[in-house]
Amino acid sequence: MPFGNLFRRTWSSTDRLDGKTVLITGANTGIGKETALDLAKRGARIIMACRDMEKAEGALKEVIEGSGSQNVVIKKLDLSDTKSIREFAETINKEETQLHILINNAGVMVCPHGKTADGFEMQIGVNHMGHFLLTHLLVDLIKRSTPARIINVSSMAHSWGTINLDDINSEKGYDKKKAYSQSKLANILFTRSLAKKLQGTGVTAYSLHPGMVQTDLWRHLSTPQAAIMKMISPFTKTSVQGAQTTIYCAVAPELETESGGYYSDCAPANCSSSASDDDTAQKLWELSCRMLSLSWD
């Protein structure tokens, strides 16, 4: 048994999601795929939003076979392109009558410098801006599906980051770790703002750290870093274990009256002081709206 199991909390519940529709970004692998499988077993309709349809087909097969549910679909979504996000959201708004749980899970970590189709630095662009736009485009459907939840998969890496409001795209110098941490801090600040703005609507919002999980997220590590990662692997989580806090935020009945919080190991957790800064949260919201040419109060 990996040593990690000794200090890790897992969550067991038999709560069902029959009649609920769940949308998960980055659902073809890792935490997203395990989340899809678990929630399909609970009876939910699952929309797996993936950028690579070939990988998505394989994951769809696994989720259908593993859950025994046929109520699972794949849809194309590339979060590094606002055109793709808008087309995807248009399809969802047209085809779905309700959306009860949105799980903003997709992410990219410490990649070489790159830009999205709209010129955003890749990590802030995919991890924050893409999900900000997606949530904006789906929020009316979510509001018509209450009680409903929005879940943003963040990371403990948020605590090593700051929001650089004057240079959110790291144009003055790209540090891949800082850019990742900034994007994960943005996930928590976005969640806090969402919770405030959605107060009284029946839509609640949560952010979380899944743990250190053995997934493709680590694909950009150097060879020596990957070797160290392998050495510490007994202390890390499997994808199934890494999905537990997301599943908890999606399902736990006791969270229905909570909103805006940050979770880890299936329990409320402390985030950094920067992640509790409502002034920065509001400024990030306004900057995101400006950069995406949105009006969203």
Ligand X SMILES: NC(=O)C1=CN([C@@H]2O[C@H](COP(=O)(O)OP(=O)(O)OC[C@H]3O[C@@H](n4cnc5c(N)ncnc54)[C@H](OP(=O)(O)O)[C@@H]3O)[C@@H](O)[C@H]2O)C=CC1
Catalytic residues, by residue number, are 180
Among 4, 20, 26, 150, binds ligand X (CB under 6 A): 26
Per DSSP, the three-state class of 22 is strand
Question: Which CB atom, from 44 or from 106, has the smaller least distance to ligand RET?
Answer: 106
Calpha distance 22→221 (Å, rounded): 32
CA end-to-end distance (rounded Å), the chain:
49
Per CB under 6 A, which region of 77-85, 113-121, 125-133, 155-163 contacts ligand RET?
A: 155-163
Least Cβ distance, residue 28 to ligand X (angstroms)? 5
Token reading at 199 = 């107060």
Calpha distance 202→37 (Å, rounded): 26
Question: Which CB atom, from 10 or from 199, has the smaller least distance to ligand X?
Answer: 10
Calpha distance 189→247 (Å, rounded): 21
Calpha distance 165→30 (Å, rounded): 31
Count of residues of this chain found to bind ligand RET when the rule CB under 6 A is applied: 9
Per CB under 6 A, which region of 105-113, 196-204, 268-276, 283-291 contacts ligand X?
A: 105-113
Find out whether 245 and 208 touch, Cβ atoms under 8 Å: yes
Find out whether 46 and 39 touch, Cβ atoms under 8 Å: yes
Calpha distance 111→126 (Å, rounded): 12
Per CB under 6 A, which region of 8-16, 28-36, 142-150, 256-264 contacts ligand X?
A: 28-36
Q: What are phi and psi of 206, to 5 degrees?
A: -140, 145
Q: Which does 4 bind (CB under 5 to 8 A by kind): ligand RET, ligand X, none?
A: none
Where do we find the tokens 């493709």? Answer: 216
Calpha distance 99→77 (Å, rounded): 17
Q: Pattern of binders to ligand X over 154-173, x per CB under 6 A?
A: -x------------------
Question: Which CB atom, from 31 or from 37, has the smaller least distance to ligand RET?
Answer: 31
Instruction: Tell me the residue type at 152.
Output: N
Calpha distance 156→143 (Å, rounded): 29
Applying CB under 6 A, does 229 fall inside the site for ligand RET? yes
Q: Pattern of binders to ligand RET over 172-191, x per CB under 6 A?
A: ------------x-------
Least Cβ distance, residue 42 to ligand RET (angstroms)? 26
Question: Which CB atom, from 30 or from 63, has the smaller least distance to ligand RET?
Answer: 30
Applying CB under 6 A, does 55 fall inside the site for ligand X? yes
Q: Which does 161 bind (CB under 5 to 8 A by kind): ligand RET, ligand X, none?
A: none
Q: Which does 210 bind (CB under 5 to 8 A by kind): ligand RET, ligand X, none?
A: ligand X
Applying CB under 6 A, does 57 fall inside the site for ligand X? no
Calpha distance 266→175 (Å, rounded): 31
Calpha distance 283→267 (Å, rounded): 28
Applying CB under 6 A, does 82 fall inside the site for ligand X? no
List contacts with ligand X (CB under 6 A).
Answer: 25-26, 28-32, 50-52, 55, 77-80, 105-109, 126, 153, 155, 209-210, 212-213, 215-217
